[in-house]
Amino acid sequence: MLEHGGRLRAAAARYGIALEDWLDLSTGIAPEAYPVPPIPSAVWQRLPEDEDGLSEAACRYYGTPRVLALPGSQAAIQWLPRLRPAGVVAVLEPSYEEHAAAWRAAGHEVRPCSSGELPLMAAAVDAVVIGSPNNPAGQRFLRKQLLDMARQLEQRQGWLVVDEAFADAEEKSESLVDVAGSAAAPNVVVLRSLGKFFGLAGARVGFAIAGEAILDSLAEAIGPWAIAHPSRLAAGAALADSDWQCAQRQRLQRDGARLHELLAAAGLGESSGTALFRYLACDDALALHGFFARQGILLRHFARPAAVRFGLPATTAEWQRLALALEQWRRR
């Protein structure tokens, strides 16, 4: 199993700090979650049904005619590689490590690539897997760049898989959700998640946007009742609430800029990222991670390349706590 952010209980045990005393900045999940409405008791008693309006709400939100609701986008990450014969896959590095691991496990040859190498690789591989914005470093790819890669891949019946888990806080102009699976981009698969922007990681809801043949194969592989009934209810409400989405987008853009400025003021150098996190590549990343952990602040550490990722604090007290720790690190 690969290691991910959010392993707060393990950190509490390792550093001897009570669970409730931690500030968890390791996940990139929005600190303010969508306020899920009360769940009627009948929702717990009945199996989920596809005709509950969730897919329609997702289609309206993403601006696409077809989606497949998933038990988190992780389900598609694991199953998509099994729907193709073994081939050569170019994967952006560094990126969410589950992508490369899933393609390797399905028998594919994975070729890690930098963002500059990917457009060239598209002409020579069977699939390209990319995050936009990318996790963990936050690189973004222009819509034209992505569609150019998709056209090159289409000549060999290849796929372009774009993980847009962190795209909801961004401008929609560079997203491919509106064309994925259409005649303009029949070989594009876009993955979206409600865990980050909506702060509903515990609901385990995501979506795949692609052509009907790919979505049908993916649905068959995942099986029935993939998403719990309460999670479907929460997701449907969140996707339909445009006022909350607008306020959340403004809130995250504001706080993302604040975090960027705070890290720069602490002398940590230039960071990259999104409205939900900042990524800092530095030689002393492990020491930085340990320093903060001993104060009960959990960051996400990356060994290769050496880096840390800071998520957003939620409250005034948490912002002050982070600022104090950064000042102590600067003056150590």
Assigned fold of 41-240: Aspartate Aminotransferase; domain 2 (3.40.640)
Residue 2 reports pLDDT greater than 60 = no
- pLDDT category at 7 given cuts 50, 70, 90 is confident
| β 159-163/127-131 pair status | parallel
The whole-number pLDDT of residue 5 equals 65
User: Quick check: helix, strand or coil at residue 186?
Assistant: coil
pLDDT at 314 over 80: yes
pLDDT, tens only, 200-253: 999 999 999 999 999 999 999 999 999 999 999 999 999 999 999 999 999 999
DSSP state of 308: E
User: How crowded is the C-beta side of 284, counted as CA atoms within 13 Å?
Assistant: 9
Give the pLDDT of residue 32: 96
The CA distances from residue 252 to 72, 260, 299, in Å, are 22, 12, 18
Residue 187 pLDDT > 70, yes or no? yes
CATH 3.40.640.10 residue ranges for the chain? 41-240
CATH 3.20.20.10 fits 8-33+243-331, yes or no: no
Q: Where in the chain is the domain with CATH 3.90.1150.10?
A: 8-33+243-331
22-56: pLDDT as tens digits: 999 999 999 999 999 999 999 999 999 999 999 99
**Beta-bridge partner residues of 302:** 307
DSSP label of 314: -
Length of the chain: 332
